[in-house]
């Protein structure tokens, strides 16, 4: 069994640490946020991720949490980097946390392998390798082992991966990372570091492309009277295409897709290549979020003074993550139009958005509302009695925009809502 240091106690770092501990490895998780480490030491999980709580608890004797780099790296065989790589103003990935980890390393005597889990531009591994060498850490290996887990299903995704990608400069380092995953079944893709970095960016770009593709099909469906749900079903049954990521909606958000698409676009541009398709994917996604405003205006006219309930704040169900969530863009646009916005989410919080009130229950969000926008398809929303909820709404003709095509159009209209969705025929 190995000893693993994990830098970053966020969504990826904690899931990685918990799953590696579950395989029997000793794991030290290091973060720079004191409160985060203290909560973890007290047995609390600072993020919401299904199954993580139980996994950390079950493996508590193999997990240590620290603020101290020396404690983390002592006797470590692997140095997992799972720090954030947010976008900068230029769209490039901000790698400052990665460089801090590299520069803080000290006291490494044995042959530890640094393993990059954070999503980084192609070429980062080569630059990190160079910096390690400059710092006299030639004996520290390097591998890229990008993360493909999705928030909400991250534990299951880690334990049952579609594939494990390992890129390394030295085969022995790649072998070691592969061996660390013993006990997890899944195809292993071995390659060079640059290709591993590109696999992650390309996989995300492919998923985003499918989302923007089906959203554009949805928009054409709206203009022509077709139903995108049936269209996606019919298209997705083609074995060459498949059904995943063909659900039309108000666009993608989250901590990965928006930033990774910008980073790939910038990476291409910095290398002298104009990535036309990706530019279109990003633009379609931006416009898609805003189409909701048009649907509301079509029925309500000016939104000034109108009460709008936003159902769902998290960027998707089963997470408390609101980074780049469509709800934030929508709330901002609605407030700019003069609407009063009340937001509900079972877990996520909409912090610091002027003009937006967050309430605890769907009833409180719907009370007196002129319009409702379903933003996140939380399972709870399927159980709401929408006929009863209609009675609590404010206007005689309350408008309901189902941004995820979650609800049944006929039943919603029978319940008295002016129901609109994405890519399905209007009433
Ligand atoms: N969130 C996901 O589902 C997901 C999936 C695939 C890939 N990724 C990538 O993984 C990386 C991490 O994402 P995340 O969502 O876990 O981020 P996060 O913001 O949840 O966590 C990052 C953590 O790193 C800590 N940190 C910063 N500097 C540090 C340092 N010097 N030493 C130790 N810890 C430090 C932060 O305090 C924070 O707790 C990003 O590159 C992201 O793109 C994320």
30 pocket-lining for ligand 1 (C-beta < 6 Å)? yes
Atom of ligand 1 nearest to the CA of 260: 43
In whole angstroms, what is the distance from residue 418 CA to residue 401 CA? Answer: 8
Q: How far is the CA of 331 from the centre of ligand 1 (A)?
A: 26
Instruction: Output the DSSP codes for 216-243.
Output: HHHHHHHHHT--HHHHHHHHHTSTTT-S
pLDDT digits (tens, 9 = 90+) for 295-320: 999 999 999 999 999 999 999 999 99
> Is 191 considered catalytic here?
no
Question: Between 6 and 90, where is the model more confident?
Answer: 6
Q: How far is the CA of 117 from the centre of ligand 1 (A)?
A: 9
Atom of ligand 1 nearest to the CA of 259: 43
Give me the pLDDT at residue 393, please: 82
Atom of ligand 1 nearest to the CA of 151: 3
Q: Is the pLDDT of residue 427 over 80?
A: no
6 pocket-lining for ligand 1 (C-beta < 6 Å)? no
Backbone angles phi and psi of 83, in degrees to 5: -90, 165
Give me the pLDDT at residue 352, please: 77
Q: 263 with 121: CB under 8 angstroms? A: yes
Q: How far is the CA of 9 from the centre of ligand 1 (A)?
A: 7
Give me the pLDDT at residue 194, please: 98
Q: What is the mean pLDDT of the chain?
A: 95
10 pocket-lining for ligand 1 (C-beta < 6 Å)? yes
Q: How far is the CA of 98 from the centre of ligand 1 (A)?
A: 10
Give me the pLDDT at residue 416, please: 92
Q: Which of 165, 175, 223 is nearest to 199 (CA)?
A: 165
101 pocket-lining for ligand 1 (C-beta < 6 Å)? yes
Question: Which protein residue's CA is at the shortest distance from atom 43 of ligand 1?
Answer: 119
Confidence of residue 426 (pLDDT cuts 50, 70, 90): confident
User: Which class for 283: exposed (0-12), middle (13-18), buried (19 or more C-beta within 10 A)?
Assistant: exposed
Strands 356-359 and 371-374: unpaired
Average pLDDT over residues 13-24: 98
Q: How far is the CA of 159 from the centre of ligand 1 (A)?
A: 19
H-type alpha helices, 23-170: 34-41, 52-58, 69-73, 96-104, 124-134, 154-159
Confidence of residue 353 (pLDDT cuts 50, 70, 90): confident
142 pocket-lining for ligand 1 (C-beta < 6 Å)? no
Q: How far is the CA of 298 from the centre of ligand 1 (A)?
A: 41
pLDDT digits (tens, 9 = 90+) for 192-219: 999 999 999 999 999 999 999 999 999 9
Q: 317 with 152: CB under 8 angstroms? A: yes
In whole angstroms, what is the distance from residue 344 CA to residue 378 CA? Answer: 11
The active-site residue, picked from 19, 191, 221, 256, is 256
Mutate to test the pocket of ligand 1, among 5, 16, 82, 199 (most ligand atoms within 8 A of CB): 82
CA dist list (Å): 17 to 134, 186, 265, 287, 373: 29, 19, 31, 38, 37
Give me the pLDDT at residue 396, please: 78
Question: Which protein residue's CA is at the shortest distance from atom 18 of ligand 1?
Answer: 10
14 pocket-lining for ligand 1 (C-beta < 6 Å)? no
Atom of ligand 1 nearest to the CA of 154: 3
pLDDT digits (tens, 9 = 90+) for 313-346: 999 999 999 999 999 999 999 999 999 999 999 9
Confidence of residue 110 (pLDDT cuts 50, 70, 90): confident
In whole angstroms, what is the distance from residue 243 CA to residue 362 CA? Answer: 31
Q: Is the pLDDT of residue 91 over 90?
A: no
100 pocket-lining for ligand 1 (C-beta < 6 Å)? yes
Tell me the percentage of the chain whose pLDDT exceeds 70. 100
Confidence of residue 64 (pLDDT cuts 50, 70, 90): very high
Count the residues in the chain: 427
7 pocket-lining for ligand 1 (C-beta < 6 Å)? yes
**Neighbour tally for 320: CB within 10 Å:** 18
12 pocket-lining for ligand 1 (C-beta < 6 Å)? yes
User: Which class for 417: exposed (0-12), middle (13-18), buried (19 or more C-beta within 10 A)?
Assistant: buried
151 pocket-lining for ligand 1 (C-beta < 6 Å)? yes
Q: Is the pLDDT of residue 395 over 90?
A: no
In whole angstroms, what is the distance from residue 122 CA to residue 198 CA? Answer: 6
Angle at 147 between CA 146 and CA 149, to 5 degrees: 160
In whole angstroms, what is the distance from residue 276 CA to residue 270 CA? Answer: 14
Q: Which of 421, 248, 401 is nearest to 330 (CA)?
A: 401
Q: How far is the CA of 8 from the centre of ligand 1 (A)?
A: 6
255 pocket-lining for ligand 1 (C-beta < 6 Å)? yes
Q: How far is the CA of 86 from the centre of ligand 1 (A)?
A: 9
pLDDT digits (tens, 9 = 90+) for 227-254: 999 999 999 999 999 999 999 999 999 9
Give me the pLDDT at residue 2, please: 97
Residue 148 tokens, joined: 């493909």
pTM score of the predicted model: 0.94
pLDDT digits (tens, 9 = 90+) for 154-178: 999 999 999 999 999 999 999 999 9
């Amino acid at each position: 069994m190995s000893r693993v240091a994990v830098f970053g106690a966020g969504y990826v770092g904690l899931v990685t640490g918990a799953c590696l501990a579950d395989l029997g490895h000793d794991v030290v998780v290091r973060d720079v946020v004191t409160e985060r480490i203290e909560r973890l030491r007290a047995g609390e999980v600072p993020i919401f991720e299904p199954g993580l709580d139980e996994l950390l608890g079950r493996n508590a004797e193999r997990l240590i949490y620290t603020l101290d780099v020396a404690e983390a790296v002592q006797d470590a065989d692997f140095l997992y980097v799972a720090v954030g790589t947010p976008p900068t103003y230029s769209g490039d990935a901000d790698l400052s946390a990665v460089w801090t980890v590299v520069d803080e390393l000290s006291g490494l005597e044995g042959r530890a392998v640094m393993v990059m889990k954070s999503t980084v531009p192609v070429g980062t591994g080569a630059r990190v390798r160079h910096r390690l060498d400059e710092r006299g850490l030639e004996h520290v290996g390097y591998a890229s082992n990008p993360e493909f887990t999705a928030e909400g299903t991250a534990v299951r995704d880690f334990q049952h991966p579609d594939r494990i990608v390992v890129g390394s400069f030295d085969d022995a380092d790649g072998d070691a990372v592969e061996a660390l995953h013993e006990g997890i079944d899944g195809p292993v893709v071995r390659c060079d570091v640059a290709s591993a970095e590109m696999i992650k960016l390309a996989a995300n770009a492919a998923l985003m492309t499918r989302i923007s593709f089906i959203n554009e099909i949805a928009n054409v469906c709206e203009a022509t009277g077709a139903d995108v749900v049936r269209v996606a079903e019919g298209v997705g049954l083609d074995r060459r295409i498949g059904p995943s990521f063909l659900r039309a909606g108000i666009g993608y958000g989250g901590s990965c897709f928006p930033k990774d698409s910008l980073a790939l676009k910038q990476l291409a541009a910095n290398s002298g290549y104009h990535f036309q398709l990706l530019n279109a994917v990003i633009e379609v996604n931006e416009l898609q979020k805003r189409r909701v405003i048009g649907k509301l205006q079509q029925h309500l006219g000016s939104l000034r003074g109108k009460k709008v309930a936003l159902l769902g704040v998290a960027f998707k169900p089963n997470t408390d993550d609101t980074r780049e969530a469509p709800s934030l863009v929508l709330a901002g646009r609605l407030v700019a139009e003069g609407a009063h916005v009340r937001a509900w989410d079972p877990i996520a919080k909409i912090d610091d958005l002027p003009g937006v009130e967050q309430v605890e229950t769907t009833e409180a969000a719907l009370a007196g509302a002129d319009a409702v926008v379903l933003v996140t398809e939380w399972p709870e929303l399927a159980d709401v009695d929408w006929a009863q909820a209609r009675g609590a709404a404010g206007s005689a003709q309350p408008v309901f925009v189902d941004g995820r095509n979650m609800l049944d159009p006929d039943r919603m209209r029978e319940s008295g809502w002016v129901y609109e969705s994405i890519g399905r025929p209007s009433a």
